[in-house]
Every structure is written in C-alpha cells, then in structure tokens.
C-alpha cells in the first residue's frame, strides 16, 4: 500500500525535492544547490511566509486562500507558483519556519548524561515540552498544540 502524501515530502530520500517539486527542502543540503526561494530577497520571503502564516492561522488550512496570501504578500500569482507547488507546499514552509523559531528559542537540545534509554527519552520529552510551552505562549491560544 502506498504511504500517504506528506507536505514537503522527499519521495526518494535524497534530501532534495527538486525531482518531484520546483525547489528543495531548505533545511537539508540539496546537491542541486540553493533553492530559488532562498535567492528571493529576504524581505519578500518574510512577506510571503508572514502572509501565509496569518492566513492559515485565521482560516485554517482548508479555508486558506492562496489568492489572499498573494495579495497580502504583494507578489504575483506567477511568482507564488514559481516558488511553491501549491498551498500544501507553502504550508510546509510556514510550519518549518515556525518549528525552526521554536527550536532556536528553546535552546540547544541537551545531550543526556546517562547512557540508558530511559534518560534519552526523558531528555527528549523535556525538550519537546519546552517547545510546546513556547508554542502555546506565542500563539495566544492555550489549545494551539494541545
């Protein structure tokens, strides 16, 4: 049975989505070099991702409109589709950026001092709880990631 589609998926596990999409996943080094979106001016990247984040936060994924995002970001429809294959692809970048911000705010992932599995999972759980607390505090909604 085929596995379900995943936003931002890397179907051939190469670390690059260029084979199946227009641009590679940014957090992973892509053998094809930087993506086109990475070469887009930072202010415009932020405008697109900020507009998309507001749209998804306001309307949810299903109710979000790429046309409203395009208008709010001040880019053309052609530009949006040059950088993103669709709403799911844009959503994946919004989530990725937010997770990177939470991880940076939570600090470095601590390395467990003990060598047993219980300590490993306890350390990982504590870090995940720290990230969830930050997410809840920043979202303004107690149920944000509950």
In 3-state terms, what secondary structure has residue 104? helix
For the residues 3-12, what does the mean pLDDT come to? 43
For the segment 96-132, what is each residue's pLDDT rounded down to a tens digit?
Answer: 888 888 778 777 777 777 778 888 888 888 888 888 8
106 near 131, Cβ under 8 Å?
A: yes
Q: Are residues 98 and 123 in the same domain?
A: no
* Band (34; pLDDT cuts 50, 70, 90): low
Q: Within a domain: residue 44?
A: yes
Q: How many CA atoms lie within 13 A of 35 on its CB side?
A: 22
**Residue 34 Cα distances to 21, 68, 78, 122, angstroms:** 14, 28, 20, 36
In this structure, the answer to whether residues 70 and 115 fall within a common structural domain is: no
* 127 and 137 both lie in a single domain: yes
* CATH at 84: 1.10.357.10
- Same domain, yes or no: 58 and 98: yes
Q: What is the pTM of this model?
A: 0.63
**Structural domain of 67:** 22-27+34-106
Assess whether 111 and 99 both reside in one domain: no
Is 5 a domain residue?
Answer: no
In a domain, 95, yes or no: yes
Residue with the bigger pLDDT between 120 and 1: it is 120
CA 4 to chain centre: 18
């Amino acid at each position: 049975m085929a596995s379900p589609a995943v936003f931002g998926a890397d179907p051939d596990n190469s670390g690059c989505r260029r084979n199946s999409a227009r641009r590679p996943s940014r957090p992973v080094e892509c053998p094809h070099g930087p993506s086109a979106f990475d070469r887009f001016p930072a202010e415009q990247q932020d405008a697109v991702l900020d507009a998309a984040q507001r749209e998804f936060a306001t309307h949810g994924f299903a109710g979000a409109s790429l046309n409203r995002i395009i208008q709010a970001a001040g880019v053309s429809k052609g530009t949006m589709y040059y950088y993103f294959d669709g709403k799911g692809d844009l959503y994946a970048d919004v989530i990725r950026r937010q997770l990177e911000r939470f991880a940076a705010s939570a600090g470095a992932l601590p390395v467990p001092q003990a060598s047993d599995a219980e300590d490993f999972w306890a350390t990982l759980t504590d870090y995940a709880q720290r990230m969830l607390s930050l997410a809840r505090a920043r979202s303004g909604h107690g149920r944000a990631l509950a």
